[in-house]
Homo-oligomer: A and B are copies of this chain.
Amino acid sequence: MDAIRLERPIETKRPKIDLIKVAGNSRTSAVAGAIAGVIRDTNQAVVQAIGASAVNQAAKAMALAKGYLSEDGISVVCIPEFVDVEIDGKVRTAMKFVVEPR
């Protein structure tokens, strides 16, 4: 699970929510499992991806997590937004997806 890091987000207004960082080489099923687990635990997951490949992996993982959670009777939606993040001193625009029960 090298490609998935769970960290406290620096910019969030909800400090108790873990941030699921997705990379282009993240395994879809591992990310989906992380999303489903965090939602079961905290009722909300925040997924962050930078770049087309990572955003694609995030989208696939959210679709998969939606399937996992629907088996538990949890119907989730996602809310996409832009967020600026600083990486190695450079500001980059990431996509952030808040995933939560509808």
Given contacts A52-B55, A56-B55, contact A102 B77 (CB under 8 A): yes
- The closest CB in chain B to the CB of A77 belongs to B77
Distance of A81 Cα from B76 Cα, bound (Å): 11
Q: A interface, how many residues as a size bin?
A: 20 to 34
A4 at the interface (CB under 8 A from B): no
B-side contacts of A59, CB under 8 Å: 55, 58-59, 80, 95, 97
10 contacts between A and B (CB under 8 A): A51-B56, A52-B56, A55-B60, A59-B80, A59-B97, A66-B79, A77-B77, A77-B78, A77-B102, A78-B80
Which 9 pairs show the lowest CB-CB distances between chains A and B? Answer: A52-B56, A77-B77, A63-B80, A55-B56, A52-B52, A62-B80, A55-B59, A52-B53, A63-B81
